[in-house]
Structures are given as C-alpha cells and as structure tokens.
Amino acid sequence: MRAPSVVLCTLNLLSHVTDASIFSSKKTCKVKSGGTNATDDAPAILSAFKECGKHGNIIFEDEKYYVNSVMNVQGLDDVDIDIKGTLLWSTDIQYWLNHSLPVGYQNQSSAFVLGGNNVRIQGHGTGTFDGNGDYWYEWIRKQPNTSNYPGRPHALTLGNLTNSAVHGLNFLRSQMWTMSIIYSHNVVLDGIFINNTGNRVSSSNTDGADTIRSSHIKFNNWTVYNGDDSISLKANSTDISITNSRFYNGLGIAMGSIGQYNDQFETIERLTVKNIYYSNTLHAVYFKTWTDDQNGYPPNGGGGGLGFASSLTFSNLTTSGLRGGAVTISQCTRFSGAPGVGNCTNSQFQIKDVTVRGLSGTTKDNRVVSLQCSAVKPCTNIGVFDVDLKFANGTEAGAYLCGNAPGTRGFECTGSPCVGGSATGGC
C-alpha cells in the first residue's frame, strides 16, 4: 500500500558568483513524508532523486521519513542533498533479507546504495539515518551464523561515488555495518556521528565504515559508538585518512580482514591516521589477515589471498581503558568451521612500513605491541615511538611481542606473541 507520498518540485533561480553564467537554475525537490510507517516513503524519495538528481537540490525536511523498501540511487550528478530530518528503516527482516542490494564484495548487501559524481550531502548535525537495528540485533542472535548473514543489509553503501562530500550526518542503530564505501574516489566524510549501541541486546557486526576498492577517502571528525570495527580498510583501499575522531567500545581501526580471496592480490596503501581518541575499544590499531589455507568461501569462509599493506602512519593516539593489545597483527583469520588448528604463519599477505608515533593513555592490557606475523611473508619495518600507556594504577604497560617481525623500530621486543585462532591478536 502506498498513499500520499509526494515530491514537490520547484524551479529556483539561484545566482552564484562562482557560476560561469550569471543565472543558473537549479531544480529543487522537497521530499514529502507520508507521515506513518504504513506508508513507504522510498518511492517518493526515489522520484526526488530522479527528478532533481542531476544539477539539482533535494531537500529532506525536518520530518520523519519511513523507508520500507530498498533504494538504489546511481548516476547522481552535481546535486546538493539537504537532510534535516530522520529516515527510519522498517523492521520487516524477511523483506530485507530477500531484497537487499548487492554491494559487490564478500556477498555483502545494502539497504541503500548511493553513487554519482559531485554529490554534496549536508545533514546539519541533525539529519539522521535510523536503521531500527534493535530488531536486527535480537534476530541475529538466534541465527546459526551471527557474523555475515546473507542479506543482512548495510545501512548505506556509497558505491561508485566520486568527488563528493557528506557532512554532519547521524546514524543510529544500523542494521549491520553502517557505511560501506566501494568503487568510490575523492570523497570527504566529515562530522559523522554513529551510535550502534543496542537498546535491548548488544549489537554485533555494526562496523562504523568499511572501505573496499576505493581511494582518496577522508574521514574527519567521526564519533562512533559500536560493537565491531570502528573503521575498517579492506581490499584495495588506498590514500585514506582518518583524523580528529573518537571511537567508543568497538574494536578500533582495523586493517582487514584481508587475504580472504584465494590467489587474489589486494592491497591497503597510504593510510594516515591522526588525532584519535579511543574509549573502551579493544585495540587502537589492528591487522587481521586470513591464512594461506583456503577453507570455504566468503563471506564467512576463505583464505589464501596475496598482497600487502604498506605505508601506514598513525600519530597522536590517545586511549582510555583499552581492553586489549594497543597495536596488534594477527595473520590467523580462518573459517571457524575449518578442521584442525590452522596455520598462523603461512599467510602470503605482507604487512610492512607501519609507523605509530604518539600512543598514550590508559589500558587494561600489558601488550603495547603484539606482532603475530607470517613466516612466509614476515612483517617488516614496523615502528612504534613515543609510547606512554599506563594501567589505572599508574604502572606502564610493557609487553612488546614479536613473531616474524624483523627490523622493528623504536622498541625492543620483549617476547613472542601468543599464536592462536583469534583474529584480534591473541589466543
């Protein structure tokens, strides 16, 4: 059933001094909400994108919009999207499992795919995407696989988005990952607030953002409360920066998982991280690669991938109550159903040229560094400088554990890491 969702389109005469022409006319579409969750506002939203998605303005007013069906918006061109109100996604889990849109990696899928060139989204700090995730968090707990369940959607996928910016947008209780960024280049994501804390049960697999096959992505001024990777860089993420951000309760900044696709070559290159505050996260920075043994297929199985992560610099990291090793590498990710104990030292994916400079605050774990690296492709040129990590009682954390990590800089290794099945740097 769909009733009175309407798009109001008007022609605005706007004059910009920067415009080549003296008068430039930009079409404006104001999206009208049906006002109740019995009315799906997705058709009205999609027609606004159709009507005004090229050289136009799209305005979501200070109202609640009910999104009961998938939205696939591609090919936007030179558009300003103004979001003042809230978009609330419906809780018909069977519908979403059947209809969520393919992302193009790991069999992941999405409730909303948005792409184009020269797209400017402004949320004013009030615009909100509410995934209604409490229903998903309760539901996923009852499933046999709580990790990547086929069809469980990401809240938003920026796919094929170039030369664009998103400012001042909030995300509440995303269905799964909040944002996946794929085939996207030159995108600024600034002033983003994410709270995936469940109201009824704790959330799982609610990453803040994941980058895949994307470059020149700037994350600035992010605040993320979640239960998984705060921000994660996956296959072919290059020239990424993460600055002036705060991460709460999640796992910290993740490189990977990567090396999941047998014989495929993937890289993570040129990441700059600066001025980050972590509260109660598991790590500050961690790497997770699959082993060289392929067991099953993505999304939940895999392994045997090639490639490297290199030229990654982290500076001015401040922690409060870290729950695990501050900087960890584990090359031991494997499908949990695989037989045997697995081989944590045979990965062909290499980690090299990593510098952490300035790491201070409090921790609950003695491990400043834990490098559980591949013997086949050892970690090289890992540097950690200017560390001041203390327990609550004031004692300095002092473990620097190294396995297959020749040529470390800035510290002496104090022992060997525990080599085990954990993807998060321990046993």
Where does 84-150 show beta strands of DSSP type E? 86-89, 101-102, 109-110, 112-122, 128-130
Respond yes or no: is residue 293 known to be catalytic. Answer: no
Binding residue (CB under 6 A) for ligand NAG from 32, 152, 185, 213: 213
Q: Which of 228, 229, 292, 365 is catalytic?
A: 228
Q: Which of residues 289-348 bind ligand NAG (CB under 6 A)?
A: 297, 299-300, 316, 318, 343, 345-346
Four-residue CA torsion sign, 261, 263, 265, 267: positive
Tell me the HSE value of 268 on the side-chain side, using a 13 A CA sphere. Answer: 29
We find the least distance from the C-beta atom of residue 61 to ligand NAG, in angstroms, to be 20
107 and 97 Cβ atoms separated by less than 8 Å: no
Give the ranges where 350-425 is alpha helix by DSSP (H).
Answer: none
Binding residue (CB under 6 A) for ligand NAG from 30, 55, 80, 90: 90
CB count within 10 Å of CB 138 equals 13
Binding residue (CB under 6 A) for ligand NAG from 9, 59, 165, 376: 376
We find the least distance from the C-beta atom of residue 56 to ligand NAG, in angstroms, to be 20
Q: Which residue has the tokens 């799209």?
A: 58
Residues 350-367: b if buried by 16+ CB within 10 A, e if exposed: bbbbbbbbbbebbbebbb
Of the candidate spans 11-19, 93-101, 282-290, 323-331, the one that interacts with ligand NAG by CB under 6 A turns out to be 93-101
We find the least distance from the C-beta atom of residue 13 to ligand NAG, in angstroms, to be 32
Distance, in Å, from the CA atom of 117 to the CA atom of 123, rounded to the nearest integer, reads 18
Q: Report the alpha-carbon angle 116-70-179, nearest 5.
A: 60
Of the candidate spans 5-13, 49-57, 95-103, 249-257, the one that interacts with ligand NAG by CB under 6 A turns out to be 95-103
We find the least distance from the C-beta atom of residue 55 to ligand NAG, in angstroms, to be 21
User: How many residues at the interface with ligand NAG, by CB under 6 A?
Assistant: 53
Distance, in Å, from the CA atom of 76 to the CA atom of 150, rounded to the nearest integer, reads 28
CA distances from 144 to 100, 140, 149, 152 (A): 20, 8, 9, 14
Residue 195 binds ligand NAG (CB under 6 A): yes
Residue 406 binds ligand NAG (CB under 6 A): no
Q: What letter does residue 298 receive in the DSSP assignment?
A: T
Tell how strand 185-195 and strand 156-167 pair up.
parallel
Binding residue (CB under 6 A) for ligand NAG from 21, 23, 142, 395: 395
90 and 132 Cβ atoms separated by less than 8 Å: yes
How buried is 292 (Cβ within 10 angstroms: 0-12 exposed, 13-18 middle, 19+ buried)?
buried
Q: Which of 332, 354 has the CB closer to ligand NAG?
A: 332
Where does 141-184 show beta strands of DSSP type E? 153-154, 156-167, 170-172, 179-182
Of the candidate spans 189-197, 252-260, 347-355, 412-420, the one that interacts with ligand NAG by CB under 6 A turns out to be 189-197
Residue 225 binds ligand NAG (CB under 6 A): yes
Residue 236 binds ligand NAG (CB under 6 A): yes
Binding residue (CB under 6 A) for ligand NAG from 159, 256, 361, 425: 159
Of the candidate spans 18-26, 41-49, 92-100, 377-385, the one that interacts with ligand NAG by CB under 6 A turns out to be 92-100
Q: Report the alpha-carbon angle 322-324-329, nearest 5.
A: 125
We find the least distance from the C-beta atom of residue 420 to ligand NAG, in angstroms, to be 13
Q: Which of 241, 264 has the CB closer to ligand NAG?
A: 264
Q: Which of 13, 392 has the CB closer to ligand NAG?
A: 392
Distance, in Å, from the CA atom of 416 to the CA atom of 425, rounded to the nearest integer, reads 12
234 and 212 Cβ atoms separated by less than 8 Å: yes
Binding residue (CB under 6 A) for ligand NAG from 24, 37, 215, 243: 37
- Amino acid type, 307: G
Binding mask 254-293 for ligand NAG (x = CB under 6 A): ----------xxx--------xxx----------------
Residue 393 binds ligand NAG (CB under 6 A): yes
Residue 104 binds ligand NAG (CB under 6 A): yes
171 and 222 Cβ atoms separated by less than 8 Å: no
Residue 377 binds ligand NAG (CB under 6 A): no
249 and 204 Cβ atoms separated by less than 8 Å: no
Active site residues: 228
Q: Which residues bind ligand NAG (CB under 6 A)?
A: 37, 68, 74, 90-92, 94-95, 98, 103-104, 107, 113, 115, 125, 144-145, 149-150, 157, 159-160, 168, 182-183, 191, 193, 195, 197, 199, 213, 221, 225, 235-236, 264-266, 275-277, 297, 299-300, 316, 318, 343, 345-346, 376, 391, 393, 395
